Amino acid sequence: MARLVLKFGGTSVADIARIRNVARHVKREVDAGHDVAVVVSAMAGKTNELVEWCREAAMAHDAREYDAVVASGEIVTAGLLAIVLQDEGVQARSWQGWQVPILCDNAHGAARIQAIDAEEIVRRFKERKEVAVITGFQGIHRETGRITTLGRGGSDTSAVAVAAALKADRCDIYTDVDGVYTTDPRVVPRARRLDRVAFEEMLEMASLGAKVLQVRSVELAMLHKVKTFVRSSFENPADPSPGTLICDEEDILEKQVVTGIAFSTDEAQLTLRRVADKPGVAAAIFVPLAEANINVDMIIQVVSDDTTTTDITFTVPTGDFDRAKGILEKARGAIGYASLTGATDVVKISAIGVGMRSHAGVAARAFKALAQKGINIRAITTSEIKFSVLIDAAYTELAVRTLHSLYGLDRA
């Protein structure tokens, strides 16, 4: 007998028919003798609707009341799933975040989990074999007693945190795909499902454009060593595939040099020309952006021949492009640059793999292959297990397919 946490996303619980399908997945594990906690998202599209209602009510709305409104989507799903499970003959009850309780800080709309008291759920496992259906995405701030939400995609984080608190044997994240693929199958039809992915690799994939798991959930899983499976809720509940296991690097016997290719279209490029090359200039550029909560990535600095000036290029999320540009224009006097240019028609392509640690020339092969396809590289960043290139958006599919084939990731 094992202790399991199953998480179901919005598309998996989009209507009553799909909730009944979810109940069959849960019942399969209960019938196998396992203790089961379920974490659910709101029905597909419901959170967007609730967010829009808040905006219609008042553009400058109270963040605490915003959380109270948007948290209601998961409450509905949890109650409905508990009802369906009971109808299937499974002992179950729903739990809201504050009832568990899932204790968070008071950063409303982007709260972080501080602690989970799972004692009562464990007691009910032992005494009643009762399934706990828990609302994802939410918790409570102990001092104020106010509901908090974790940010979009927060149900993944809730599930991994609950699994850690319950000391679960594994956490199954059910979604609309049957695992983690070497890249997006919509772009590369020959992409294949991976049996295992290291935590570090999944963290890079999630942060570099792969949408399978939320970044914070992978961080938590890695920190607490929670074995996490990505599985499809749309397969036959009686005979589901195992999906992809996210685990420690030591649990993977044969490590590929490159595990996957990720890409992010949410990129914009900014370049400051002929900036004075002196102490404090970088701070003058990036501190105001940080204070505006604008995330900066792929910073490239090129010093001129006379060593007195430098060009600095970096990327920001597309949605922050105009705001970042405005901040830099206001700070022109403090920075002292000659010109500011930018582009939003760019994309970041990344290759990820723990095998890069022990292989030389991995990135060089990519640069050569892209050059042979006539693809110009605007910027490059590297780390121990990944490298990223910034290219023109028009070449996205060609670049992804080229690198996917280059590293032998195509399905045989």
Q: Assess contact for 184 and 191: CB atoms under 8 A.
A: yes
State the pLDDT at residue 306: 67
148-169 tens-digit pLDDT: 999 988 999 999 999 999 999 9
State the pLDDT at residue 309: 85
Q: Which residues pair with 146 in a beta bridge?
A: 141
CB-CB neighbours of 342 under 10 Å: 18
Residue 379 to residue 343: CA distance in whole angstroms: 13
Q: Where are the domains of the chain?
A: 3-249, 261-406
State the pLDDT at residue 214: 87
Residue 235 to residue 37: CA distance in whole angstroms: 20
125-155 tens-digit pLDDT: 999 999 999 999 999 999 999 999 999 889 9
State the pLDDT at residue 135: 98
State the pLDDT at residue 250: 85
Helix-helix angle 199-207:215-224, to 10 degrees:
160
Q: How many degrees, rounded to 5, is the angle at CA 29 between CA 27 and CA 35?
A: 105
Residues sharing a CB contact under 8 Å with residue 175, sequence separation 6 or more, in sequence order: 9, 11, 12, 212, 230, 231, 232, 233
What b/e readout covers 167-200, taking b as 16+ CB neighbours within 10 angstroms? ebebbbbbbebbbbbbbbeebbeebbbbebbbbb
Q: Assess contact for 105 and 114: CB atoms under 8 A.
A: yes
Residue 53 to residue 214: CA distance in whole angstroms: 25
Strand order in the sheet with 113-116: 113-116, 102-104, 138-141, 146-149
> Which of 76, 75, 61, 74 shows the shortest CA–CA distance to 108?
61
State the pLDDT at residue 253: 72
- CA of 274: how far to CAs of 2, 207, 271, in Å? 62, 31, 10
Which residues of the chain carry a pLDDT beneath 70?
304-306, 412
Q: Assess contact for 280 and 247: CB atoms under 8 A.
A: no
Query: Is the domain covering 3-249 a CATH 3.40.1160.10 domain?
Result: yes
199-241 tens-digit pLDDT: 999 999 988 877 788 889 999 999 999 999 999 999 999 988 8
State the pLDDT at residue 208: 83
261-406: what fold?
Answer: VC0802-like (3.30.2130)
